[in-house]
């Protein structure tokens, strides 16, 4: 049997793999604490559930327009016009089956085989595979810094890069480009003319003051070359509903819409009505409660990790991850480290190698206070025992 080259060269998702491994050991009775989760550990807000029930009762269970129901596209345009102080309309928006699907659709419009795409490191695990699927080539800044700079972009452009996927707050580091850093990035984007897919899925989980700094706020004139990706998954604990949004110039959206029309048709009708309720603001009390819990847990886990010898980390400013580096005299194989930590230390984590960094591990604080405290205890004693050396 002959399989096409690009899809058969794709790698599986390491985050899903390690999450599943920890879950199956736990299910088999092992004493495992898992900080692998890439999703909130809260219930979807009542307003979304009710809207979904109403949609079903009212027979809104057939195909919808492939780019999403008009009410939701309109609500997305309105909400993110406010966020970015720009006028977006329905033609600027598309609803897809999760932010991951939105990214895949938008990427497909701009990447031709052989095109180089810049991925700041660490990168979300799916970006390189999405680029590879389209026959594109991922390139990475060589500065080795955790947050990309304007000069990284200029250098990459000089070597032929056409576009970049940008993610701040970042999964896995939880780091955020400050307003000055964003202005520097925006200046380089303007100078080079590259396209940008700004993955803003964690924009509402920002622990600084006000809104998270954004390229479009630094330079509103970039709106035609920047596509925004956002959604309801992380902000409203709705990962399973599979609804994501793209906001971009109408051509980019229209072409992506054709791709979607010939692949999934429309995103799930019922989920769209559930998303509509939260985008319109019917679950803000729950959102604030979840946000408050994440912020408090961020402080909890950072406070505990600060007392663990043998690691160093920067305090996350967004999302729900901490990304410590394991400080050792000899380089370690991070996958082996995480497997040993799971099997001998009873703690599930994700190796930094999945995000382009050897020597780092990702800990999710989308977990209870007790699990966080126990997890840090286990990490500390695992490091003290030196079980990974
Ligand atoms: C950086 C980043 N982008 C996009 C997604 C995908 O979100 P969704 O579940 O809406 O597809 C995730 C989910 O883990 C993520 O971490």
User: Which residue's C-alpha comes closest to atom 13 of ligand 1?
Assistant: 38
What would the pLDDT profile of 295-325 be if each residue is shown by its tens digit?
Answer: 999 999 999 999 999 999 999 999 999 999 9
Give the residues across from 350 on adjacent strands: 362
Cβ–ligand 1 contact at 362 (below 6 Å): no
Q: How many CB atoms lie within 10 A of CB 322?
A: 24
Domains and CATH numbers, the chain: 5-43+285-385 (3.90.1150.10), 46-279 (3.40.640.10)
> What pTM value is reported for the model?
0.97
**CB distance 354 to 15 below 8 Å:** yes
Distance CA(184)–CA(192), nearest Å, equals 12
40 lines ligand 1 (CB under 6 A): no
Q: Ligand 1 pocket, 293 CB below 6 A?
A: no
| CA separation for the pair 263, 368 (Å, rounded) | 39
Q: Which string of DSSP letters, residue by residue, matches 306-337?
A: TT-TTEE-PPP-BTTEE-PEE--SS---HHHH
Nearest atom in ligand 1 to 239's CA: 9
β-bridge pairing 226-231 and 195-199: parallel
- Going from the Cα of 99 to the center of ligand 1, the distance in angstroms, rounded, reads 6
Does the beta carbon of 245 sit less than 6 angstroms from any atom of ligand 1?
no
Cβ(243) – ligand 1 distance below 6 Å = no
52-84 pLDDT, tens digit per residue, is: 999 999 999 999 999 999 999 999 999 999 999
pLDDT tens series, the chain, 389 aa: 989 888 888 888 888 888 899 999 999 999 999 999 889 999 999 999 999 999 999 999 999 999 999 999 999 999 999 999 999 999 999 999 999 999 999 999 999 999 999 999 999 999 999 999 999 999 999 787 899 999 999 999 999 999 999 999 999 999 999 999 999 999 999 999 999 999 999 999 999 999 999 999 999 999 999 999 999 999 999 999 999 999 999 999 999 999 999 999 999 999 999 999 999 999 999 999 999 999 999 999 999 999 999 999 999 999 999 999 999 988 889 999 999 999 999 999 999 999 999 999 999 999 999 999 999 999 999 999 987 77
**Percent helix, strand and coil across the chain, each rounded to 5?**
45, 15, 40
Question: Is any atom of ligand 1 closer than 6 Å to the C-beta of 352?
Answer: no
Looking from the CA of residue 243, the nearest atom of ligand 1 is 10
């Amino acid at each position: 049997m002959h399989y096409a080259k690009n899809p058969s060269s794709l790698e599986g998702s390491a985050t899903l793999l390690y999450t599943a491994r920890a879950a199956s050991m736990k299910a088999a009775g092992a004493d495992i604490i898992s900080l692998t989760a890439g999703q909130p550990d809260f219930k979807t807000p009542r307003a979304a559930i009710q809207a979904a029930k109403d949609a079903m009762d009212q027979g809104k269970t057939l195909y919808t327009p492939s780019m999403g129901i008009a009410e939701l596209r309109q609500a997305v345009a309105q909400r993110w016009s406010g966020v970015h102080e720009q006028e977006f309309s329905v033609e600027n928006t598309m609803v897809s089956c999760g932010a991951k699907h939105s990214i895949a659709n938008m990427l497909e419009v701009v990447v031709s085989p052989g095109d180089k795409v810049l991925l700041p490191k660490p990168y979300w695990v799916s970006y390189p595979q999405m680029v590879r699927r389209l026959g594109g080539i991922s390139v990475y800044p060589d500065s080795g810094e955790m947050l990309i700079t304007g000069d990284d972009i200029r250098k990459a452009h000089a070597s032929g890069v056409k576009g970049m996927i940008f993610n701040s707050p970042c999964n896995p580091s939880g780091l955020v480009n400050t307003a000055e850093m964003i202005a520097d990035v925006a200046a380089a984007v303007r100078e080079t003319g590259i396209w940008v897919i700004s993955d803003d899925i964690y924009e509402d989980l920002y622990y600084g003051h006000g809104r998270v700094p954004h390229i479009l706020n630094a330079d509103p004139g970039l709106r035609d070359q920047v596509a925004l990706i956002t959604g309801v998954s992380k902000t409203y604990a709705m990962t399973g509903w599979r609804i994501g949004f793209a906001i971009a110039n109408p051509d980019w959206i229209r072409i992506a819409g054709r791709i979607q029309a010939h692949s999934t048709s429309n995103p799930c009708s019922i989920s769209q009505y559930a998303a509509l309720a939260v985008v319109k603001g019917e679950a803000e009390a729950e959102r604030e409660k979840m946000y408050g819990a994440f912020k408090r847990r961020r402080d909890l886990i950072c406070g505990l990790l600060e007392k663990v010898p043998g690691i160093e980390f920067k305090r996350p400013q967004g999302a729900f991850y901490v990304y410590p580096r394991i400080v050792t005299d000899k380089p370690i194989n991070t996958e082996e480290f995480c497997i040993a930590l799971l099997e001998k230390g009873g703690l599930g984590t994700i190796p930094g190698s999945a995000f382009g960094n050897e020597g780092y591990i990702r800990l999710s604080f989308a977990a209870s206070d007790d699990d966080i405290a126990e997890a840090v205890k286990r990490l500390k004693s695992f490091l003290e025992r030196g079980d990974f050396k």
